[in-house]
């Protein structure tokens, strides 16, 4: 009897181990084949034909179509041509050599990168929208659709965006939308449930419920998890939903397209009216990011599938607040998806990443994307550190609790509170398991910001019994302080004040904390710190970084699309870049995180000015063919470019990257010879005469030909040349900066100039 029971179990274990060994020898890949030739509205027969062609292509490598069907877990059939499959390295290498394949790359993982900000950007003044605001002129982004590749949304997101459901919410995994898979979309369009250009959309796993009032704000959502599942293994029911259990997606999408919602605050901080950049835009959510695996949340195979769906869904702006390490343009999922989106008239706004301030840390660098970095606004959530010597250090915090004023507590450095098995370095970072609670209990703990998550440090301090935490920057992070919803009273101070505080600890140990970023919708499925220990639930949260800047620009892009529906994605990008400011709100030059005068390497084109972007005067426009020329100049193979463009394309015999019609100008190698750059501007404003003024980079002669351009009609194009030559041969070396501005007295069309001197 024992054997009859144990044998099947042993066989199952052996089979499982063999299966794990087999899978361990395989990896998940994306096989990219370029574009499709079946047009904008393919039939089901067209789509089935594409899928079968994928089976045939992979089957020729694996030996049969049946094996190909087992290996392929995504078939990209609508706008992006390709598939995702589980292969071994030899199979991946073989298929990469096929003449119809552009590239084969691993299904890599990526990371996820308010009440006051729109006032800061000039769209309102103390809650009042001025007549000249782009909000008024662009009808608050009405009829524009903003899509978001992120962690999707949460039902509480309904309230925070003022979304009225078209159908009542059912059980845990039903959806709150007006669509069902297979429903005749033409009927939805005729009944006014979606804009006419949104026809042909299919939304999966949605059940019709009793009809109630519907304002058509949130028009749908999808989830994509097959690329993630390869690494995560078997997924439970919580992974087959577009609900946001993280909060990042709810926050970003509401920042871009949320409606006006009064009474928003985070633990009573920053009380006011929350709203998005395009408050009357419609929004769509695409869930591609899930709980972290080895720190990675969003996988390439899912990202490409979401791009393919969003293009079919007819969104106007795609918000992508995620990224990874830079890669070749045709081996990068976001770059590939963005190219196909731009080809269909969709502006893709990507986050530059949060890995600075080191050089070369920007992500999402494809020129067809609008890449956004982060800067500060004139709103602070201040928490002062009061020392026993009456000195106050200004920090930042959104802690929900406080300590009695004028009461001082013992202070201890985490290095002095290390556990027996911990090093001083590990303990100083307040890493999990590195603190001795007997030393910490009842005291204010001093932690250093380095590698682990900031809110995790607060969690460890709370678990160890601390009454408060001082989080000080290390030298690399300098003066970049953040307001966060720590589990205990905490104050984040800069590097300079951190050095002072640690010196103070060495002389005495008394200190007190007196509690005095971007607020937007959040999920009630998780605490504001995303930590298991955090059982608090709030409808709004404050977050910082490029992921928060990215939806601001997406909202502004939505306004520009409503105001100028005929503008290309490149025109919108140019308008935002050339009207940006390099000064702060006090009209002083912007500073970097070290309080030094910033350069374009820190601020890019500058701080966005939405009210100027709606009437930029001139734009630098680009077409798909310009982007193909860009790839030609980067020496991609003719076969790759033909597949990428989904039709034959001949690279020009003479094309220089110096003539790529981008709104900024960079010369990476200025030596003894002159460099000549050509640009073409298009008039999108009133007739007028533009004259140029130049702030030349140090050590560079700059000549503009012509220096005056007269435009008579909208759409008129003019060409000019920029000639750069070093004043002294071979000196100075390194990067220098300047700017070029065309102005008719009303418009100021600014381009950064970046030049690197090199020796012969």
Catalytic residues: 150, 248, 547
Cis, bond preceding 732 (omega within 30 deg of 0): yes
Q: Point out which residues pair with 692 in neighbouring strands.
A: 742
Residue 501 burial (C-beta neighbours within 10 Å; 0-12, 13-18, 19+): buried
The tokens describing 616, both together, are 């930029």
Q: What Cα–Cα distance (Å) separates residue 258 from each residue in 217, 274, 284, 287, 558?
A: 9, 8, 12, 18, 12
- What is the DSSP-derived secondary structure letter of residue 435? B
Q: Which strands sit side by side in the sheet containing 218-223, from one edge to the other?
A: 218-223, 282-287, 145-150, 317-320, 347-351, 370-372
Of 679, 663, 672, nearest in space to 722 by CA: 679
* Span between the terminal Cα atoms of the chain, in Å: 86
Tokens 């970072």, residue located: 429
414 SS3 class:
helix
**Beta strand ranges found along 621-733 (DSSP E):** 665-670, 675-683, 688-695, 700-705, 708-711, 717-726
Compute how many other C-beta atoms are within 10 angstroms of the C-beta atom of residue 360: 9
Q: How far apart are CA 49 and CA 57, in angstroms?
A: 12
Phi-psi region of 74 (alpha: psi -120 to 50; beta: other; left: phi over 0): beta
Q: Where are the alpha helices (DSSP H) in 123-247?
A: 134-137, 157-160, 185-190, 226-232
**Beta strand ranges found along 354-509 (DSSP E):** 370-372, 382-387, 392-396, 409-413, 444-449, 468-473, 490-493
Q: How far apart are CA 591 and CA 585, in angstroms?
A: 12
Q: What are the φ and ψ backbone dihedral angles of 125, each rounded to 5 degrees?
A: -135, 105
The tokens describing 481, both together, are 């302080």
User: Please, what is the Cα angle at 628 between 144 and 34, to 5 degrees?
Assistant: 75
The tokens describing 696, both together, are 């030349």
The tokens describing 75, both together, are 């078939």
- What is the DSSP-derived secondary structure letter of residue 727? S
Q: Write a three-state SS string for 324-371.
A: CCCCCHHHCHHHHHHHHHHHCCCEEEEECCCCCCCCCCCCCCCCCCEE
Of 256, 456, 229, nearest in space to 349 by CA: 256
8 Å CB contact between 484 and 454: yes
Q: How far apart are CA 243 and CA 204, in angstroms?
A: 14
8 Å CB contact between 298 and 535: no
Question: How is 392-412 classified by DSSP, letter by letter?
Answer: EEEEE---S----TT--EEEE
Q: Are strands 269-274 and 261-266 parallel, antiparallel or unpaired?
A: antiparallel
Of 340, 337, 344, nearest in space to 364 by CA: 337
**Beta strand ranges found along 211-346 (DSSP E):** 218-223, 261-266, 269-274, 282-287, 289-293, 296-299, 317-320, 322-323
Tokens 């919708």, residue located: 521
């Amino acid at each position: 009897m024992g054997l009859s029971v144990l044998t099947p179990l042993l066989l199952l274990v052996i089979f499982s181990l063999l299966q794990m060994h087999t899978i361990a020898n395989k990896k998940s890949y994306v096989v990219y084949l370029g574009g499709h030739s079946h047009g904008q509205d393919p039939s089901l027969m067209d789509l089935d034909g594409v899928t079968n062609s994928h089976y045939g292509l992979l089957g020729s490598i694996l030996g049969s179509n049946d094996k190909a069907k087992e290996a392929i877990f995504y078939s990209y059939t609508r706008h992006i041509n390709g598939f995702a499959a589980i292969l071994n390295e030899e199979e991946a290498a073989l298929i990469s050599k096929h003449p119809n394949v552009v590239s084969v790359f691993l299904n890599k993982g990526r990371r996820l990168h308010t009440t006051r900000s729109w006032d800061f950007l000039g769209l309102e003044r103390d809650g009042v929208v001025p007549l000249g605001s782009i909000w008024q002129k662009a009808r608050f982004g009405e009829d524009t659709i903003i899509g978001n590749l992120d962690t999707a949304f949460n039902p509480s997101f309904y309230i925070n965006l003022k979304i009225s459901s078209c159908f009542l919410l059912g059980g845990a995994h039903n959806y709150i939308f007006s669509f069902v898979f297979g429903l005749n979309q033409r009927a939805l369009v005729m009944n006014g449930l979606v804009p006419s250009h949104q026809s042909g959309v299919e939304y999966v796993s949605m059940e019709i419920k009793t009809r109630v009032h519907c304002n058509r704000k949130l028009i749908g959502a999808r989830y994509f998890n097959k690329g993630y599942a390869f690494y995560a293994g078997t997924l439970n029911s919580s992974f087959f939903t577009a609900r946001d259990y993280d909060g990042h997606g709810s926050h970003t999408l509401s920042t871009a397209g949320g409606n006006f919602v009064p009474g928003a605050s985070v633990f009573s901080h920053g009380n006011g009216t929350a709203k998005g950049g395009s408050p009357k835009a419609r929004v769509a959510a695409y869930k591609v990011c899930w709980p972290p695996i080895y720190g990675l949340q969003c996988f390439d195979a899912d990202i490409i599938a979401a791009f393919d769906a969003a293009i079919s869904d007819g969104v106007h702006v795609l918000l992508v607040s995620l990224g990874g390490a830079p890669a070749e343009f045709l081996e990068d999922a976001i770059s590939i998806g963005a190219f196909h989106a731009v080809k269909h008239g969709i502006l893709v706004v990507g986050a530059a990443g949060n890995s600075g301030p080191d050089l070369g840390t920007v992500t999402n660098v494809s020129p067809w994307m609008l890449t956004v970095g982060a800067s500060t606004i004139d709103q602070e959530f201040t928490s002062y550190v009061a020392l026993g010597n009456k000195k106050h250090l200004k920090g930042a915090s959104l802690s929900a609790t406080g300590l009695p004023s004028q009461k001082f507590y013992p202070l201890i450095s985490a290095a002095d509170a290390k556990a027996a098995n911990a090093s001083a370095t590990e303990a100083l970072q307040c890493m999990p398991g590195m603190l001795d609670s007997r030393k910490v209990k009842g005291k204010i703990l001093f932690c250093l910001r380095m590698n682990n998550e900031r809110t995790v440090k607060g969690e460890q301090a709370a678990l160890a019994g601390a009454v408060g935490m001082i989080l000080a920057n290390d030298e690399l992070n300098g003066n970049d302080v953040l307001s966060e919803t720590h589990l205990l009273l905490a104050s984040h101070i800069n590097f300079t004040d951190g050095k002072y505080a640690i010196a103070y600890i060495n002389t005495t140990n008394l200190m007190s904390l007196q509690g005095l970023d971007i607020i937007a919708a959040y999920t009630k499925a998780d605490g504001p710190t995303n930590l298991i220990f955090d059982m608090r639930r709030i409808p709004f949260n404050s977050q910082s970084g490029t992921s928060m800047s990215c939806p601001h620009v997406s909202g502004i892009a939505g306004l520009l699309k409503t105001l100028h529906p005929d503008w290309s994605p490149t025109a919108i990008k140019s308008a935002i870049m050339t009207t940006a400011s390099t000064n702060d709100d006090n009209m002083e030059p912007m500073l970097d995180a070290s309080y030094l005068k910033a350069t374009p390497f820190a601020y890019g084109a500058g701080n966005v000015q939405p009210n100027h972007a709606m009437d930029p005067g001139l734009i630098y426009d680009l077409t798909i063919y310009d982007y193909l020329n860009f790839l030609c100049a980067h020496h991609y193979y003719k076969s790759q470019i033909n597949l990428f463009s989904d039709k034959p394309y001949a690279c020009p015999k003479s094309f220089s990257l110096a003539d790529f019609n981008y709104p900024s100008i960079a010369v990476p190698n200025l030596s003894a010879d002159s460099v000549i750059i050509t640009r073409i501007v298009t008039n999108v404003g009133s007739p007028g005469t533009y004259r140029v003024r130049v702030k030349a980079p140090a050590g560079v002669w700059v000549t503009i030909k012509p220096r005056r351009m007269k435009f008579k009609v909208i759409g008129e194009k003019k060409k000019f040349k920029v000639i750069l030559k070093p004043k002294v041969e071979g000196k100075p070396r390194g990067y220098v900066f300047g700017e070029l501005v065309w102005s008719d007295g009303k418009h100021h069309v600014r381009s950064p100039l970046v030049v690197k001197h090199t020796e012969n």
